[in-house]
């Protein structure tokens, strides 16, 4: 899967299908890690930081970070915002294009 917005859109499509979201709850961490990989591979200077053991986030600026696992957990609970929308929001805040 490409580490781009297209990759996030593919996950969003899977989550929007008629699947049992409770069955996917165990995938919050892998989904969050993939989202973090997209951020670190597409945003210059973005990097991983571990705030607690096994609970990473991605620093996108010196003063801003994204709780990628939290974003994934929320996405598994509600449809909006999607992972792709979250990504677009981060890019917008940084003045980057999608």
Per-residue pLDDT of the chain (98 residues; tens, 9 = 90+): 899 999 999 999 988 886 777 778 889 999 999 999 999 999 999 999 998 877 899 999 999 999 999 999 999 988 899 999 999 999 999 998 76
What global pTM score does this model have? 0.92
Nearest Cα residue to 6 out of 58, 84, 68: 84
pLDDT of residue 9: 96
Could you tell me if 66 and 36 are in contact, meaning their C-beta atoms sit under 8 angstroms apart?
Answer: yes
Domains of the chain by residue range: 5-94
């Amino acid at each position: 899967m490409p580490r781009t917005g297209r990759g996030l859109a593919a996950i969003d499509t899977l989550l929007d299908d008629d699947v049992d979201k409770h069955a996917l709850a165990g995938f919050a961490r892998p989904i969050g890690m993939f989202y973090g990989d997209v951020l670190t591979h597409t945003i210059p200077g973005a990097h991983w930081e571990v705030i607690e053991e096994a609970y990473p986030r991605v620093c996108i600026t010196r003063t801003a970070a994204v709780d990628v696992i939290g974003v994934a957990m929320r996405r598994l609970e509600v449809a909006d915002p999607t992972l792709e929308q979250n990504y677009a929001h981060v890019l917008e805040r940084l003045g980057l294009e999608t």
